[in-house]
Amino acid sequence: MELIQQLVNGISLGSIYALIALGYTMVYGIVRLINFAHGDVFMIGSFVGFYAVTALHVGFFPALLLAMAACAVLGVCIERIAYKPLRNATRIAVLITAIGVSLLIEYGTIYLRGAQPEAYPSTLLPDKKLEIFGVIINSQSLLILGTSIVLMILLQLIVYKTKIGKAMRAVSHDAEAARLMGINVDNTISATFAVGSALAGAAGVIFGIYYIKIEPLMGIIPGLKAFVAAVLGGIGIIPGAMVGGLVLGVIESLVSGLGYSLWRDGAAFIILILILIFRPAGLFGKNVREKV
């Protein structure tokens, strides 16, 4: 029973990782860039949700939508200001810029509001304990899981059923060819950043409800872990990010369940290094040989 309990916890946690990982994977798939600032977009989403609830007194869903909208705008701004001028620069230059943007958002937030943590109001979602076959499931976890699944289905619909989704897939396959076919590559990249950041914003609100405490540097560790999840599933592959996130969440819960909770953060990085060594393309990826 203990094991199943840990599995349930792991899936809730994993769905948060999966939502952040989706943004990483989409951005990487389209511009080959590890967006280090993605974890901080997640943090901003969490704070927007918090202020929406405490200052505007709205419910869960309006707060979620508000956070998603704010993060989408932020994501597009980051892309336009920092990454777009570097479209043809070296990979290292882009990576360093991403690190810079990440530090700027973190410390800019601390500068504006201070480093003190905030507590999410616990009355946002109904909190009931459901008991199914001896496993206690929190109603909050179920709602969190449900929201994540709805968002993921929505993403699949956007990517596979809409015109902009088709453009995204074309650009990620071959940006030059897509440009020649009349696709506006810049707008497509912006749209990708908007969608990925909106998912991160939603994850931020969900994370706040799940863990209660939020603070300006909270994006770093979940951001890195979501990246691990994206690599685990095969970076650039959308279903890979979902599976990677869930697997990572479950592994983490099992590690803490076995009594090694202090090593939980280490487990993610050990998985990362093992995956990078033995299967760099990830679980779902194919190996592509680089040519001169």
Partner 1 sequence: MATWKRTSGFWISIVLALIFFVVVQVLISGQILNSFYINTLFFMVINIILAVSLHLIIGVTGQFSIGHAGFFAVGAYASAIMTMKLQMPFALALLVGGIAAAVAGLLIGIPSLRLKGDYLAIATLGFGEIVRITLLNVDYVGGASGMMVTNLTTWPWVFACLLITIIVIANFTNSTHGRACISIREDEIAADSMGINTTYYKVAAFVIGSFFAGIAGCLYAHHFYIIQPTNFGFLKSFDILIFVVLGGLGSMSGAVIAAILLTVVSTFLQDYPETRMIIYSIVLILVMLYRPKGLLGTKELTSFFKLRRATEGGIGNDNKHTVA
Strands 213-214 and 135-138: unpaired
Give min distance, CB of 45 to partner 1, in A.
20
Answer left, alpha or beta for residue 189, where phi above 0 means left and psi between -120 and 50 means alpha: alpha
Number of residues that bind partner 1 (CB under 8 A): 42
Which residue from 290, 272, 277, 193 is spatially nearest to 233, judged by alpha carbons?
272
Asked whether the CA dihedral 149, 228, 48, 8 is positive or negative, the reply is positive
Residue 40 is a binding residue for partner 1 (CB under 8 A): no
Give min distance, CB of 98 to partner 1, in A.
9
DSSP 187: H
Of 1, 55, 180, 262, the one binding partner 1 (CB under 8 A) is 262
Our CB check for partner 1 shows the closer of 76 and 86 to be 86
Residues 6+ apart with CB under 8 A from 138: 127, 128, 129, 130
* CA–CA gap between residue 46 and residue 71 (Å, rounded): 10
Give min distance, CB of 234 to partner 1, in A.
12
- Per-residue contact flags (x/-) with partner 1 for residues 210 to 229, judged by CB under 8 A: --------------x--xx-
Give min distance, CB of 50 to partner 1, in A.
20
> Are the C-beta atoms of 34 and 247 separated by less than 8 Å?
no
* CA–CA gap between residue 232 and residue 192 (Å, rounded): 21
- Per-residue contact flags (x/-) with partner 1 for residues 83 to 122, judged by CB under 8 A: --xx--xxxxxxxxx-xxxxxx-xxx-xx---x-------
Rg of the chain over Cα atoms, rounded to whole angstroms, equals 19
Residue 3 is a binding residue for partner 1 (CB under 8 A): no
Residue 276 is a binding residue for partner 1 (CB under 8 A): yes
Site for partner 1, rule CB under 8 A: 34, 82, 85-86, 89-97, 99-104, 106-108, 110-111, 115, 224, 227-228, 231, 262-263, 265-266, 269-270, 272-273, 276-277, 280, 290, 292
